[in-house]
A and B are shown apart, each in its own frame.
Chain A
Amino acid sequence: MAEPDAVRTFEDGLAQIRATFEQALRAAEDEPQLRLINARYVGPQGELTALLKLMPKLPGNRRRELGQAANALKQGIQQAFDETLDRIHRSARDAELTGPHLDLTLPGRWQMPGRLHPITRIRNDVLDIFVSMGFDVADGPEVELYENCFDKLGFPPDHPATDEHDTFFVDGDRPSDAPTVLLRTQTSTIQIREMMKRKPPLAIVSPGAVYRRDDDATHSPMFFQLEGFLVDQDVSFAELKGVLTLFLRRLFDEHVALRFRASYFPFVEPGGEVDMSCVFCRAWEQDRARTAACRVCKGTGWMEILGCGMIHPVVFENVGYDPEKYTGFAFGMGLDRIAMLKYGIPNIKLLYENDVRFLSQF
């Protein structure tokens, strides 16, 4: 049943809303306020919502007309709302873009730095170079047989060549005729093990921990070596020089010069040591004053970096290769020393103390 009062109420309500909404919405200062004001008109308890609930009470002849007016008003409110919201967003963004800076000095999140040990880093660098040249990586036991560490490598019995290798022996309650067991003093043992296992051609590098009974300012009783060797028909000293030159240039600097000096290791002959131009005073730049003052190379411009040579025929004989058929070269280096050179580590002891303050530097 239509109520004439309803029409009036409806019309007055619409007029009332129409007169105020625009100003009310546009005066909102932020989004929550805007939504609050908006709800006052079109929320579940809103004024316009309340009017719309009166619709059924309107007389049929006015219902359509008034309904359209209410809808138009609702759209008007929506538009004012959207525009105001847009303005608020815009001004907030403008405020952020032109306002004060965030405190950039607060710590970053996701802060979980882990670090490889410097020896591992160097080992990886060195392995990458050799692996890219076609070398395999191999491994062997740290507790070794005397014969693999010395006899098969051509160390003569009772010979001062072993003086460099002050060896830790394993205490055995084993029969006395059993082979003597020791902690390997060099990774050259892997030459023996791999050559006995495989047939040429072979190109292998093997990093690992080795042990010697030296413990002073410049020696650690455990340290890391990397051994490499290549065996094939007609391998020459010239190729040894080629491989090591390429290796050191890639590891340190493309400018380094190498100097091969004769030396002696029982398992290579001709045997040598390699000096590299000092990478601290950058001896290749020929700044003699800087080299003269260089403490690392002691003014010589050279630093000893590795040992090498052509694999001794006695080693081939010991592993069952024909030394007339096969030749090969071998080289070895101290990874500790290279890590110390490369990272400027002053004392070898730091490498094994595992002081977090040290480990976190690499």
Chain B
Amino acid sequence: MLASFRWLQELCPVDADVAEVARRISLAGLEVEAMERKGHDLSGVVIAEIRAKKPHPKRDDLTLVRVFDGENEHDVVCGASNVPDPGGRVLFARSGAVLPGGMQIAPRKVGGVESSGMICSEEELGIGADGEGIFVLDEDHRALPGTNAADALDLRDVILDISLTPNRPDCLGHVGIAREIGVLFGMPYSPRKAAGPRRAFLPEGAFRPGQPTTRLAPLWDSESDMVDSPKLPAISVEIVDGDRCPRYGAALVSGVEVGPSPFWLRYRLHNLGLRALSNVVDATNLILLEWGHPIHGFDLDRLRGSKVVVRLADEGEKTATLDGIERTFTSDDLLICDGEGPVAVAGVMGGLFSEIRDDTKHVLIECAYFDPRSIRRTSRRLGLHTDSSHRFERGVDPEAIPQVLASAASLIAELGGGAVAADAIDCVARAHRPASIRLRPERAARLLGTPVSKEESMRILESLGCRIVEHDGETIEAQTPSWRPDLTREVDLIEEVARVRGYDQIPTAMPRAHVSEAGTPGLLKLVDELRDAAVACGLYEAINYGFLSVEDLRRARVGADAVMLANPLSEERAVMRTSLLPGLTGAASRAQRHGATEVRLFEIARTFQPTGDVLPHEQTVLAINLAGHRPGWIGAEQAFDLYDGKGVIEAIIDRVFGRKPELVSGDLPSFMHPKRSGVVTLASEGVGFVGEIHPEVSDDLELIGRVIYAELDVPALHALSEKLGPPQARDLPKFPAVTRDIAMLVRDAFTAGEIADALQAASNGLAESVRLFDLYRGDQIPEGHRSLAFRVTYRDTSGTLTDKQVDKVHGSLAKVARDRFEATIR
């Protein structure tokens, strides 16, 4: 909501500068996001009088003009076609002036003729949208040549950009904001009456008999000349759906002449972001900005049957709106119709057919109250958000209708001439009932944590427009004003008291100490531990969007049965991920394209698996992605392989659980390499997988080289951690260990792990560990074989081992290697 500070001051003349007003209303909930000064930067632009004009010697489209700027005469070349005759006054930028757009005025030659200064258009001065011709002052304007333009045209203003919360429809007009300022500055606002129209008539015969009317005259501040009633067909208003339209008022202005608006009005609309069109339309817009109440003008001559019917649309009914688009309605849309069909979408937009045109003579002004929910549904269904729907869907003031009609009719008559019907139609289908709310100041004090007196509460509520119905020692009963639909229960009034006093008046305190019963859930703690462990392994944490494209899922060969979005922003983000693979490898692929030589990423996030239930299953997963070469010291680079992935998984699990996982063959996702990946088990339970991405998938994902990917199932790990319990302390060894190495040549068919296990088993409990420390293939090794070297650590928990004991058991290990694994001991 843009608001003119000048206008606010006219409505509520508080003694405070704009910064102070902005600060106070911001603290009270009307957040001023920006302030823009208008008409302050026009020094050097003055009123000048045309002294002479003649055609340019060389160019037909230019005029040579002599102007008097109050001090000197200047010869200026002007490109506009509307240069007035001598005596006319224009806005003249002297040499040296800088226009709001940044243009510096300096003497220059135009078409070979010296031009000193510039005669300006509205647009060039930033004071209007008209860039067609130069700005010419009205003949009756009293400004003398040499007067600063800002003074002469009264241009100075500050425009406040207020970010209004949706609970405050009352502040969607200047009257409401002025009222709020009055409350905050202790200066009760009293709505001013509209200036009365010069001419009014008694609308005898203009309204159909029985039509409920209201007298506007008391709402004007001056008497009008009564003229004869114009000959008009009798008008009627009928509300068919009183729930959707509780009240409908209509005023009549006859004998209007449609034309351009005066400068002050155009300037005000321009500053507030609206385009000036014609006096009647501009007047309705000004009233909207003043009262926050949208009104609509109908051309009475185009209102077929001279009647207005407010009803729901028939399913599929159509009409074209003001913007020229044909709209189709449902039976949930409220329409304003004439005797034959729709003329407006109630509260949203007028129809094309009955709009005000240049030849309009009689204007019927609509001012109504529509059900906010109804307007909102229609507005959203049509995708039509207008200044009007914005206000109606938040709730306008139903009781302001006569006052708004009086102001609107009077303004239109002032601008377009004509006479106003002294009575206006006022159909009330459902009377407004003010809410009656009980406020306990003691409750307010407890909720706010600061004393609140009954007297102060009453004073604040009354200043807001509440009527105190009754009060006793403990409670106040207040009726809320019709412009505050947001006040419906006690806590709303407590907020008003707190807000008007200022939240800064509330002290700070600390709550009673809390002792948490539940604590942080173990799963969340585990997630944090896993995250820290992954970072300790040298991985960078990634965060990807939860959604991706169907194509992403297909390319990655992950579950395509996914949660689909009904209204995605794009196909790229249309489904919820069923795997972290596409997101994480996407980041890796982008990094590779940037030339990153090593990518080490992890992510802990949720995947979404559809279930038979309403909500999907959300599964927390830790995913790891390694690509490129492993970080080493100086020297040859080596690509990441399965064992890097395995090492990271081992390190993470070891750090969190104090145990090593195993890697075994088993069922793998189809995006993993069938021979270069394995299932991660902890205490024999599957908790994830690690390995190379399937080469075909890797190609589809546009990854370079062998890329390592791993996932750990976080809830499964959590369940295991509960089962396994914390690590338990063991005795430290009392006797020394002896190490012996055993090297052997074996066929590839035997895994290092099974050989190590067998060696350990053969040691009669003396081998504390069997560790592979060398693996060799090469010249001396036959095809399909490899040389494995294990270091066996022997220790007897009951005494010091002798060489003889060790020799004996080590020999039996060699025998097992030969017999079971056909190994050649080297």
Contact = CB atoms under 8 A, between A and B. Distances in A.
Contacts of B536: 114
B541 A352 contact: no
B565 A168 contact: yes
B578 to A, nearest CB: 12
A119 interface: yes
Contact of A360 (B394, B507, B540): B540
Contacts of B390: 160
Contacts of B513: 134
A112 interface: yes
Nearest to B596: A356
A327 B447 CA distance: 7
Of B167, B531, B535, B545, chain A has the most CB atoms within 10 Å of the CB of B167
Interface stretch (B314-322, B468-476, B515-523, B675-683): B515-523
Contacts of B393: 158, 160
A262 B495 contact: yes
B568 interface: yes
Contact of B494 (A115, A139, A242, A270): A270
Contacts of A234: 446
B618 A142 contact: yes
B564 A352 contact: no
B503 A168 contact: no
Given A157-B373, A183-B565, A270-B499, A144 B615 contact: yes
Of B28, B31, B540, chain A has the most CB atoms within 10 Å of the CB of B540
B634 interface: yes
A107 B590 contact: no
Contact of B495 (A112, A133, A174, A270): A270
Contact of B499 (A134, A232, A262): A262
Contacts of A209: 546, 605
B165 interface: yes
Given A139-B524, A236-B509, A269 B541 contact: no
A135 interface: yes
B539 to A, nearest CB: 5
Contacts of B631: 111-112
Contacts of B508: 238, 241-242, 245
A289 interface: no
Contacts of A143: 563, 576, 608, 615-616, 618
B615 A141 contact: yes
Given A238-B508, A264-B168, A356-B599, A351 B565 contact: no
B82 interface: no
B134 to A, nearest CB: 36
A271 B495 contact: yes
Given A115-B535, A119-B543, A354-B601, A236 B448 contact: yes
A117 B528 CA distance: 12
B606 interface: yes
Contact of B166 (A160, A183, A237, A354): A160
Given A263-B29, A356-B591, A106 B510 contact: no
A178 interface: yes
A239 B546 contact: no
A171 B566 contact: yes
A205 to B, nearest CB: 10
B372 A158 contact: yes
B510 A246 contact: yes
Interface in A191-236: 198, 201, 203, 209, 211, 213, 215, 221-222, 230, 232, 234-236
A136 B518 contact: yes
B618 A141 contact: yes
B614 interface: yes
A93 interface: no
A94 interface: no
B99 interface: no
Given A171-B566, A264-B166, A117 B542 contact: yes
A211 to B, nearest CB: 7
B753 to A, nearest CB: 26
Contacts of B535: 114-116
A232 B512 contact: yes
A145 B614 contact: yes
A174 B36 CA distance: 52
A280 interface: no
Contacts of A116: 531, 535, 541
Interface residues of B, number: 91
Interface string A267-311: 001111100000000000000000000000000000000000010
A348 to B, nearest CB: 12
B449 interface: yes
A136 B538 contact: no
A171 B29 contact: no
A44 interface: no
A69 interface: no
Given A168-B565, A263-B29, A238 B541 contact: no
A27 interface: no
Contacts of B545: 221-222, 352
A221 B498 contact: no
B521 A163 contact: no
A159 interface: yes
Given A178-B614, A183-B565, A222-B545, A264 B167 contact: yes
B534 interface: yes
B565 A169 contact: yes
Contacts of A161: 166-167
A40 B473 CA distance: 117
Nearest to B542: A354
B580 to A, nearest CB: 12
Contacts of A120: 531, 541, 543
A36 interface: no
A22 B508 CA distance: 89
A222 B583 CA distance: 14
A273 B599 CA distance: 41
Contacts of A115: 535, 540-541
A120 B566 CA distance: 30
Contacts of A3: none
Nearest to A120: B541
Contacts of B323: none
Contacts of A337: none
B573 A261 contact: no
A304 B591 CA distance: 35
Given A112-B537, A145-B614, A198-B518, A238 B524 contact: no
Interface string B666-702: 0000000000000000000000000000000000000
Given A159-B166, A239-B509, A260-B504, A356 B28 contact: no
Contacts of B27: 259, 261-262
Interface string A305-325: 000001011000000000000
B751 interface: no
B506 A237 contact: yes
Given A117-B543, A137-B521, A261 B29 contact: yes
B377 interface: yes
A52 interface: no
Contacts of A238: 448-450, 506-509
Given A237-B498, A360-B540, 14 more contacts: A112-B538, A116-B541, A141-B618, A158-B376, A158-B393, A234-B446, A237-B448, A241-B507, A269-B492, A354-B583, A354-B587, A355-B594, A356-B587, A356-B599
16 contacts: A111-B631, A114-B536, A115-B540, A117-B543, A124-B528, A159-B373, A163-B166, A178-B614, A183-B576, A198-B518, A237-B447, A237-B448, A242-B510, A262-B495, A312-B491, A327-B447
Interface of B: 26-29, 31, 165-168, 372-373, 376-377, 390, 393-394, 446-450, 489, 491-492, 494-495, 498-499, 503-504, 506-516, 518-521, 523-524, 528, 531, 534-547, 563-569, 573, 576, 583, 587, 590-591, 594, 596, 599-601, 605-606, 608, 614-616, 618, 631, 633-634
Q: Which 9 A-B pairs have the closest CB atoms?
A: A238-B449, A236-B449, A112-B538, A262-B29, A264-B165, A354-B587, A134-B514, A260-B503, A270-B495
